[in-house]
Homo-oligomer: A and B are copies of this chain.
Amino acid sequence: MSDGAQFRQVSPVRLYQRIVEQIEQAIVRGDLKPGQRLPSERELVTQFGASRPTVREALRVLESDGLVRSRPGDPNGPEILPFSPAGLTKQMTRLVQFDNVSMAELISFRMILDGSASSLAARLRSEEELSVMERTIAVMADAIEAGYEEFGKADVAFHEAVAVAGRNSLIQVCNQVVRGAVLALISDKVAHAHNSATLMRESLRHHQEVLEAIRAGDGLAAARISRRKLYEYYAGYVPENERGPLLALVDDEES
């Protein structure tokens, strides 16, 4: 068949890439588990039959991908790291900076993710998960006096709990990433503006409403409240003429 005779573009594979692939696959396969150590650079040199600079290039790439970490003088060699979405966050942040993704799109995306997570949580949550959410909200209430630092942490914990109850770690990770990206863009403005007991109390109330909807198993309401809450919270950072898509999400279930 002619399909099988098609040729793909080739690109020369560098030595260091082969090394990266081997180590990467060993980690993915589970042959190398987090916490375990790689042989020392000089030992890898003999195992791979490449020179030290080449081995080091591979290690630098793996390190930049968040798979391993080298520490000078460590006699045990580079450490295999547990998975972390940090790499995803980095790429996502890059996407935002590069492709000039607007604040509006970012928040729109958060509304979608958070709304979906709440909706799923409303349908799938167990009793224990519900009580975890209640506890995080209690922490939020206590943290109002402690300042935005503490409050923010509890806020994040609540959203994590919702995402967990929604049975979807992708939403969890993406939401985390997008939240990070949003904060990176408005970090200076937000630090003081949100350090207000009034705002925090309002935010707390919104969270409580979401929790109520989740408890009631009302996915639509949970999603709607989540989205509206986010819109009210962040709309101020979006130019007025770009708020259309956001409002479309707020109205989503009502028309």
Q: Is the CB of A248 within 8 A of B120?
A: yes
Verify if A205 is at the interface (C-beta below 8 Å from B).
Answer: no
Number of copies: 2
Decide if A43 is an interface residue (CB 8 Å cutoff): no
The docked-state distance in angstroms from the alpha carbon of A168 to that of B87 is 22
User: How many residues of A are in contact with the other chain, CB < 8 A?
Assistant: 57
SS of A interface (majority): helix
- Is A87 a contact of B83 with CB atoms below 8 Å? no
For the complex, give the distance between the alpha carbons of A68 and B50 in Å. Answer: 24
Chain A interface (Cβ < 8 Å from any Cβ of B): 3, 12, 16, 20, 27-28, 53, 56-57, 60-61, 64-65, 72, 83, 85, 87-88, 91-92, 94-95, 97-99, 101, 105-106, 108-109, 112-113, 116, 119-120, 123-124, 147, 149, 166-171, 173-174, 178, 219-220, 244-245, 248-249, 252-253, 255
A-B contact list, 29 entries, CB within 8 Å: A3-B147, A3-B149, A12-B72, A27-B98, A28-B94, A28-B98, A56-B57, A61-B61, A64-B64, A64-B65, A65-B94, A85-B95, A88-B88, A88-B91, A105-B168, A105-B169, A105-B170, A108-B168, A109-B168, A109-B171, A112-B113, A120-B248, A120-B249, A124-B244, A124-B248, A166-B245, A167-B245, A168-B245, A253-B253
